[in-house]
Copies of this chain bind each other. A is one copy, B any other.
């Protein structure tokens, strides 16, 4: 025999505690800490705004669509996090922890969804721009990688760079660019120096055809990123640094759609003299914290 049921309880804090305490004794302590906080904040959010089933289902669809649009060349789940500032925040948390343990080091910034793991190593002094567009301005980027503790130059460090072309597209988004265009990895010489030709970067929109673009439109926000070049610097025995450098003359420095701009990361391109290959010059040094200082 069943009955007409008259549910009149509410799933309050006790429910959240029940969900958290359902984790078994073999749960990794860090995972337990992370999931406990995540479950609590997700539940608090749902209660705070009295989230309805229909609204929640829109969120589920957004997550599923993000996954369905993602592949080896595109990470829409990451982009969704980026437009709500989450990647920038966790990057800062990770960076601050490195600073605390190692003193000063080059400021970091988010990886972004266009990095590739198979970027080719190129010779210092060569170019990464193989399809230079008519409206592209070439810059010579050069600098030194040093130890954040001793200031000594680091030989055999790698500096990896990638950037969008003037049409706003990275090579994997654009059939008109050759593979690995505007992308290269450089190994520092005995004095820690690296150098290469690239484009002076230009602002571009993040992809608008997925859920992140839809969310930006719903939030009445623009999709643009200020002009920047992505860099990763690594050396054996040192903590790698992932960063972006921003052209101080660019639009959108104050309202980057993915919130990656930090004060320490803006750079000034200077006119380059006596070099037919480049209009602009940028000297940019990087300082890495030793792993041993942890």
Contacts and interface: CB of A to CB of B under 8 A. Distances in A.
A75 B60 contact: yes
B285 A3 contact: yes
A91 B43 contact: no
Interface in A46-75: 46-57, 60-61, 63-70, 75
Nearest to A44: B41
A85 B37 CA distance: 14
A22 interface: yes
A268 B37 CA distance: 38
Interface residues of A, number: 107
A97 interface: yes
Nearest to A36: B49
A78 B93 contact: no
Interface of A: 1-11, 15-16, 18-19, 22-28, 31-35, 37-39, 41-57, 60-61, 63-70, 75-78, 80-81, 84-97, 99, 104-108, 111, 143, 146, 218-221, 242, 245, 255, 259, 262-265, 267-268, 270, 282-287
